[in-house]
Homo-oligomer: A and B are copies of this chain.
């Protein structure tokens, strides 16, 4: 077993509900990472429809911050099951309040399909030639770095150093657990916000909505991520992400809508929807 498996484990509670714990090990500062919370919800979906265990497309809208170290309940509603797809929604609840709402089409991804069209991975130095993520660029303690090893491109390791809103890096679990579709829910949200590469540390970039499409079952080994923002206006940005496995195959795409709150600016919208 692995830390990630232990800390996303759920128990059936009947009537489509699952219970577990939001573990503090996946915190960014005082709040649970948004991708980890999504993984908990997706684990409930996987358990509900084991014939369709992989999120072909999953969207989460964050409503309230998760409560680290507290129990959680995930309520699943299956909307439709077909031969190759199950569409379902899930709500993660803590302390009586819904924290996030998920809508997904679940199915099966394979490891070996030959792609007709596929974006190649970007050029990257080997992991040993890339500095580890420290969290300094974000100014908060990243408990998650005890769980995952993240190596950033040398040109993009310090906030503001990339000259563009981009971050590239390697990621893997420290305990050797292999990547799988569930792990990708966390991996797409584990890197520094790409906009830090251009603007430096901007304060706070809470995610409103995150969508992940898993495209392939990953090979064992390091996962390579690339994240970019080409669209920042009116206090909101869109960040696109791509993940490739150790064989250089595209395994997931992601996109998120996030608010950009400059340091010292008052929180608006929902309070601290999620953190990373």
- Residues in chain A within 8 A of chain B (CB atoms): 56-57, 59, 61, 63-64, 79-80, 82-85, 87, 89, 98, 101, 103-105, 107, 109-110, 113-119, 165, 198, 208-209, 211, 213, 215-216, 229-234, 236-238, 250, 253, 255, 257, 268-271
Contact = CB atoms under 8 A, between A and B. Distances in A.
- Top 3 nearest A-B pairs (CB, nearest first) are A113-B234, A115-B233, A57-B209
Contacts of A59: 59, 103, 209, 211
Contacts of A82: 268-271
Contact of A101 (B98, B103, B113, B237): B103
Q: Which of A59, A114, A268 is most buried by chain B, counting CB atoms within 10 A of its CB?
A: A59
Contact of A57 (B63, B98, B208, B231): B208
Copies of this protein chain in the complex: 2
Given A82-B270, A101-B87, A103-B103, A231 B61 contact: no
Given A56-B208, A56-B236, A211-B255, A87 B63 contact: yes
A265 B208 CA distance: 39
Given A87-B61, A105-B209, A208-B85, A253 B238 contact: yes
Contacts of A87: 61, 63, 101, 270
Most buried by B among A57, A79, A211, A268: A57
A231 B213 CA distance: 11
Contact of A231 (B56, B114, B117): B117
B85 A269 contact: yes
Of A103, A119, A198, most B-chain CB atoms within 10 Å: A103
Given A103-B89, A216-B233, A257 B83 contact: no
A57 B198 CA distance: 24
B257 A238 contact: no
Contacts of A117: 165, 198, 229-233, 237
A109 B43 CA distance: 34
A253 B211 CA distance: 13
A234 B80 contact: no
A233 B118 contact: yes
Contact of A64 (B80, B109, B255): B80
Contacts of A255: 211, 253, 255
A269 B89 contact: no
A171 to B, nearest CB: 20
B215 A233 contact: yes
A194 to B, nearest CB: 10
A116 B233 contact: yes
Contacts of A215: 231, 233-234, 236, 238
